[in-house]
Amino acid sequence: MPQIIFLPHDDLCPEGTAVEAAEGETVLDVALKNGIGIEHACEKSCACTTCHVVIREGFDSLDESDELEDDMLDKAWGLEPESRLGCQAIIKNEDLVVEIPKYTVNMVKENH
């Protein structure tokens, strides 16, 4: 079973953590299942950027992002070459190291 290491994040995962993941799961689902509350305002439909993550190791093991995900990522805060939407990054058979950006763009939350 692949392992995902979530690097420390002040609010969501202060100590960082390593968890097991099943092939075919998304990075977001694994995070949520393990108590890491990554935002997902569009309910995992690839319609926002709140689940933006940066894959620090294992990026090449993921399928390439599609055009819709790329369009969404263009709007993400702190975009990097290894950025992915957690709801679209499907785990294969390789370990990943994931960084959750400090900020996220949540239009719904910010308009209230």
Tokens of 109: 């939350």
Q: What is the CATH number of the domain that holds 19?
A: 3.10.20.30
Q: What is the mean pLDDT of residues 82-92?
A: 98
Boundaries of domain holding 106: 3-110
pLDDT confidence of residue 111? 43
| The model's pTM | 0.91
* The total number of structural domains that make up the chain: 1
Work out the average pLDDT over 79-102: 97
Assigned token pair, 44: 């995992």
